[in-house]
Amino acid sequence: SRQRYVLGDTAMQKMAQSHVFLSGIGGLGVEIAKNIVLAGVKALTVHDTKQCTKWDLGINFFIHEDDITGQRNRAEATLHRIAELNPYVHVAASTVPLDETTDLSFLKQYQCVILTEVSLLLQKKINDFCHAQQPPIKFISADVYGICSRLFCDLGDEFEVLDTTGEEPKEIFISNITQSNPGIVTCLENHPHRLETGQFLTFREVNGMSCLNGSTHQITVVSPYSFSIGDTSDMEPYLHGGIAVQVKTPKIFYFERLEKQITNPLCLVADFSKPEAPLQIHVAMLALNHFQENFGRRPNIGCLQDAEEMLKIAMSISETLENKPQVNGDVVKWLSRTAQGFLAPLAAAVGGFASQEVLKAVTGKFSPLQQWLYIDMLDIVTPLEKMESEEFLPRGDRYDALRACIGDSLCQKLHDLNVFLVGCGAIGCEMLKNLALLGVGTGQDKGLVTITDPDLIEKSNLNRQFLFRPHHIQKPKSYTAAEATLNINPYLKIDSYINKVCPATENTYSDEFYTKQDVIVTALDNVEARRYIDSRCVANLRPLIDSGTMGTKGHTEVIVPHLTESYNSHRDPPEEEIPFCTLKSFPAAIEHTIQWARDKFESSFSHKPSLFNKFWQTYLSAEEVLQRIKSGESLEGCFHVIKTLSRRPRSWTQCVELARVKFEKYFSHKALQLLHSFPLDTRLKDGSLFWQSPKRPPFPVKFEFNDPLHYDFIVSAAKLFATVYCVPFTEKDLSEEAILKIISAVKVPDFRPSNKVVQTDETARKPDHIPVSSEDERNAIFQLEKSILSNEALENDLQMKPISFEKDDDSNGHIDFITAASNLRAKMYNIEPADRFKTKRIAGKIIPAIATATAAVSGLVALELIKVVGGYPADAYKNCFLNLAIPIMVFTETAEVRRTEIRNGISFTIWDRWTIYGKEDFTLLDFINAVREKYGIEPTMVVQGVKMLYVPVMPGHIKRLKLTMQKLVKPSADKKYVDLTVSFAPETDGEEDLPGPPVRYYFVQEDN
């Protein structure tokens, strides 16, 4: 279901009808196979003619040691493991030779052909065949050789895409349209339109200039808040209201054959600091292909003679290309030195990108790559320049392919590495695969991978969390992922936990724990957890690599002590909250009605039942409560609890009746009340209409039993009321006849207008609690007496069963209730309704997800991990942002750490920590003096977390100077130190205090 939110149903259906052919099941081929099988094509044929070798263990996560001893073909060895990923995809293996003499007509049964590890001559031949078919067979070729990778797409002469970005069409509320040529449309203040010139919009609900409604116009952006739409001078004058909705228009993409593109390539630039790089890698990889054709082999590892030969070939190739690009000797030399090697994480990154292109080819969804993508890892090998060539030579183990790229010393550092991976979801699973292939945590004496995740495996995880299978559902993610990772590399040492990483678990994930880790890798889905872990890494001077995805978008960020800023150094703007008055009375969009329904669910079925139970746990009987309120005692929450008790439904019939009364209250009386408070002709002080965009007047909904939406609300609400009030019901109770019989007899209360003030201020917050009047209190006494006399306040009556919202269980009725309630409210306000699927995404705050982006992001993280382990300089690290839909992949340098000046040349960065060693009778004054003597500046304020230890202007704080640090801080017995924040007096009065770095105060001198 998470992938449906990315691709949509039409694309999913097209994909489920497509047949794909993939040749070459090496490290890159298996990545592509994994991703497209998880996505759900109809059938995949995996083709390979090579036998499994020891080498494959370090590059192909689906080849095991017994495949090598059994001398199995790579396609046959991996077939059942690929097929296991998705039972709905038919996976077949082919081992017949594919060469210059092969009759290619067998390819006509496929919609898409992907080639890896195929010679350039054969690629051209197959591409020509695919391009010539009607309709053309979509052609994709991809390769990873050593530190370089290449991806090429040819989807035919003309390829139509219906949705180029996959973004939701924008809806813009209009505040004005000029009567001019061109007419200028202005949107509501503080709501930028975020449109681009050339896009199309259609209009609705425009008052005055009503001939615009239903018409489509191409726009030109004038400013962030306005755009022009052509001549409006002959139209009626604009009065108010109106919504402009973006219209998605199909786009045709044009492709050339491989033969033609080789001489004049169209490349995606991934690193804008090196715009020339794609062409340079293009030339280098063509030179490698020619070298292979000439010598029947790839260049030997570290062989200078072969590198020189390849450089000569590159020079002559450059002359044959249209742009005659400059040859980059370093790229050619390193490609030659490492061409026999293979970087598995690079294959993961390219494989993720290539797989998304396959999905575009078979669905027509998103913008395809035109036509080449080149990525190199020169950053990884440049610092290895001075290494002896023996470092790179094979040793006959599973890491030979990696060793050929990064040398043995760096391989050993990876084996001895301690890594803490937080989260075993989609990115976590992919990261474990990458760590296993790199041999992280496999050292004989050192090295350990520690993982933690508190979650259990859900069915919706299976489309991208590729270590999990259907029989793992409801098992802990971390334990299952650890076990599955050992299948990839049985020599991995791995500790798995099911704890959340948060302040409550600092006993487990203590400073001592962090200090033992070499790198922390986060695979999280929320900002709060990232911020917390980042703060722990900064406090303990540990490198952190963070990443995340949302649909086809992804990011990676490298944080290295003393070199870069940290995650907390920058903050995204907070998510805009929907104003309380909009939710309560003035919804303008379906998101508002869905949030309202979600809030109703929470208050009726979770919050109120919880408060009810809590109250009756405090006061043990109804008689005791009656006695106490009669004697004038005020018991918190008692009015609402008694009201709930007196109205408690005790049968299925009463649950249905309650649902029917709620229908009337929510969808009829609410509208009548608002129109009573603000009739349709109400005007504001400036003379403008009250009910104008974005405010929409409500109209009462008349209950119709035969309307499926009305019926759904009654049934889903009644079922939930029955659950919280512990009322049993049967299948027979849910029959239409039974419901109709109850509904027909319900006496619905008439509408009586009230004089309650309706909140219209958008900045007003929801009130914490509404005061209870004395009349309400008298009423409560009467109701409670009545319940006691009727024997309706017994022990069982004083209990309810709160419901926790669960979006992924379709049988529990939670999303049914929210969909029905939201769409009824939308109907009341004349807002376009949303189907159950969209409602579930918004109400459940579901993050759309797809395996392609996850695989790409985790590959990029693992590449940065190699640099961190090698202790590389700051300019080697790269952050990345990608969006596979458009497609873009942008590498940027990490932000250099900022230095904060205090004064007199004293400065610090986020990575600096001052230390002071005390003793048992050390006072606060001693501490302040010690800081001054050691660091040359006297603190004027000392804070511990949120506790102010010393602020001179605070009453009584001067006396604290004589107190010992032990007494002030009150450390637990095992605590050796405390982290304090200090600040310093400003140079001139009236300015803010100057911040300082954290100071770690040790209670006693450490033994050196």
> What is the token pair recorded at 400?
């030979």
Distance from C-alpha of 348 to C-alpha of 431, rounded to nearest angstrom: 10
> What is the token pair recorded at 415?
């084996």
Residues 6 or more apart in contact with residue 612 via CB below 8 angstroms: 641, 644, 645, 800
Q: What are phi and psi of 575, to 5 degrees?
A: -65, 140
Distance from C-alpha of 984 to C-alpha of 912, rounded to nearest angstrom: 16
Spot the catalytic one: 153, 211, 581, 880: 581
Distance from C-alpha of 132 to C-alpha of 128, rounded to nearest angstrom: 6
> What is the token pair recorded at 802?
């709160």
Sign of CA dihedral 340, 346, 352, 356: negative
Taking the mean position of all CA atoms in its chain, how far away is CA 757?
A: 41
Residue 303 designated active-site: no
**How much is the CA Rg of the chain, to the nearest whole Å?**
34
CB-CB contact of 22 with 117 (8 Å)? no
> What is the token pair recorded at 272?
């804008």
CB-CB contact of 376 with 350 (8 Å)? no
Q: List C-alpha distances in Å: 549 to 387, 567, 571, 687, 849.
A: 37, 16, 17, 48, 7
Bridge partner residues of 945 (DSSP): none
Tokens 């049934």 — which residue? Answer: 715
CB-CB contact of 90 with 43 (8 Å)? yes
Pure H helices in 734-850: 736-744, 774-789, 814-828, 836-843
Ramachandran assignment for 994, one of left (phi > 0), alpha (psi -120 to 50 degrees), beta (any other):
beta
Tokens 């590059």 — which residue? Answer: 59
Tokens 């499994």 — which residue? Answer: 52
CA angle 512, 518, 524 (to 5 degrees): 90
CB-CB contact of 468 with 460 (8 Å)? no
For 233-257, letters b (16+ CB in 10 Å) and e give eebeebebbbbbebebeeeebebbb
Ramachandran assignment for 229, one of left (phi > 0), alpha (psi -120 to 50 degrees), beta (any other):
alpha
Q: List C-alpha distances in Å: 403 to 67, 505, 866.
A: 22, 38, 12
Distance from C-alpha of 806 to C-alpha of 931, rounded to nearest angstrom: 53
Distance from C-alpha of 797 to C-alpha of 650, rounded to nearest angstrom: 9
Distance from C-alpha of 99 to C-alpha of 3, rounded to nearest angstrom: 37
Determine which helix (DSSP H) or strand (DSSP E) holds 494, and give its type and residue range: strand 494-497
CB-CB contact of 523 with 465 (8 Å)? no
Strand order in the sheet with 994-1002: 914-917, 994-1002, 977-984, 939-944, 947-950
Task: Identify the CA nearest to 523 among candidates 858, 231, 257.
Answer: 858
Q: Kindly report the number of other CB atoms within 10 A of residue 199's CB atom.
A: 19
Distance from C-alpha of 617 to C-alpha of 799, rounded to nearest angstrom: 9
CB-CB contact of 105 with 126 (8 Å)? no
Taking the mean position of all CA atoms in its chain, how far away is CA 568?
A: 18
Query: 519-522 and 494-497 as β-strands: parallel, antiparallel, unpaired?
Result: unpaired
Distance from C-alpha of 195 to C-alpha of 713, rounded to nearest angstrom: 38
Q: What are phi and psi of 245, to 5 degrees?
A: -120, 130
> What is the token pair recorded at 748?
């619905």
Q: Kindly report the number of other CB atoms within 10 A of residue 444's CB atom.
A: 8
Residues designated as active site: 581
